[in-house]
Amino acid sequence: MQDGLIVKALSGFYYVQPDDGGDVVACRARGLFKKQGVSPLVGDRVRFEAKVDGSGEGTVVELAPRSTELVRPPIANVDTALIVFAVTRPDINRSLLDKFLALSELAGLRSILCFTKADLLEKPEAADLKAEIAELRATYERIGYPVYLTSSRGGEGIAGLLGELEGRITVIAGQSGVGKSSLLNRLAPGLLLATNEISEKLGRGKHTTRHVELFRVGARGMLADTPGFSTLEFPEMEPEALTEAFPEFAELSNGCKFRGCLHLKEPGCRVLEAVASGEADKRRYEHYAAFAVEIRDRKRRY
pLDDT of 21-31, one tens digit each? Answer: 889 999 999 88
- Annotated ligand binding at 114? The verdict is no
Which H or E element spans position 165? helix 158-165
Q: 169 phi and psi, to 5 degrees?
A: -100, 120
Q: Is 119 annotated as a binding residue?
A: yes
**pLDDT value of position 202:** 35
Q: 44 pLDDT exceeds 90?
A: yes
Whether 87 has a binding-site annotation, put simply, is no
* pLDDT for 227: 62
Amino acid symbol at 124: P
Percent of the chain having pLDDT more than 90? 61
The type of residue at 147 is V
The Cα angle at residue 275 between residues 273 and 278, in degrees rounded to 5: 110
> CA nearest 75: which of 115, 116, 104?
104
109-126 mean pLDDT: 94
60 is an annotated ligand-binding site residue: no
Buried b (16+ CB within 10 A) or exposed e, 208-240: bbeebbbbebbeebbbbbbebbeeeebeeeebb
Quote the longest CA-to-CA distance of the chain. 72
> What is the tens place of the pLDDT at every residue in 195-239?
544 443 334 444 445 678 898 898 889 998 766 554 577 888 888
- Give me the pLDDT at residue 226, please: 65
Q: The domain 2-65: what is its CATH number?
A: 2.40.50.140
Domain 239-301: top CATH class: mainly alpha
> Binding residue per annotation — 107?
no
- % the chain with pLDDT above 70: 90
Q: CA-to-CA distance for 146 and 157, rounded, in angstroms?
A: 12
Question: What's this model's pTM, rounded to 2 decimal places?
Answer: 0.84
Answer yes or no: is pLDDT of 264 > 90.
yes
Kindly tell me the burial class for residue 127, based on how many C-beta atoms sit within 10 Å of its own C-beta (0-12, 13-18, 19 or more): exposed
Mean pLDDT of the chain: 87
What are the backbone angles phi and psi of residue 69, rounded to the nearest 5°?
Answer: -145, 120
230 assigned binding-site residue: no
Considering the domain delimited by 75-225, tell me its CATH architecture.
Answer: 3-Layer(aba) Sandwich (3.40)
Residue 192: band (very low, low, confident or very high) from pLDDT cuts 50, 70, 90:
low
Tell me what the mean pLDDT of segment 108-121 comes to: 95
**79 annotated among ligand-binding-site residues:** no
- List Cβ neighbours of 197 (8 Å cut-off, separation of 6 or more): 205
The answer to whether the annotation marks 269 as part of a ligand binding site is yes
Domain coordinates in residue numbering, the chain: 2-65, 75-225, 239-301
In contact, 248 and 282? CB cutoff 8 Å: no
Tell me, what's the pLDDT at 205? 42
What pLDDT is attached to residue 198?
Answer: 41
278 is in an annotated binding site: no
Tell whether residue 260 is among the known ligand binding residues.
no
**Residues 58-81 pLDDT 10s:** 999 999 999 998 877 788 999 999
Q: Is 174 annotated as a binding residue?
A: yes
> What pLDDT score does 128 carry?
95
Would you say 27 is a known binding-site residue?
A: no
Residue-wise pLDDT for 271-287, tens only, equals: 999 999 999 999 999 99
pLDDT, position 203: 40
**Helices first, then strands: H and E counts in the chain:** 8, 13
Q: Which residues pair with 115 in a beta bridge?
A: 85, 149
117 is annotated as contributing to ligand binding: yes
Terminal alpha carbon distance of the chain:
47
Question: Do residues 70 and 107 make contact, with C-beta atoms less than 8 angstroms apart?
Answer: yes
**Is 19 labelled as part of a ligand binding site?**
no
| 179 marked among binding-site residues | yes
C-alpha closest to that of 141 among 153, 131, 133 = 133
Which of 43-47, 149-153, 178-182, 242-246 has the weakest average pLDDT? 178-182
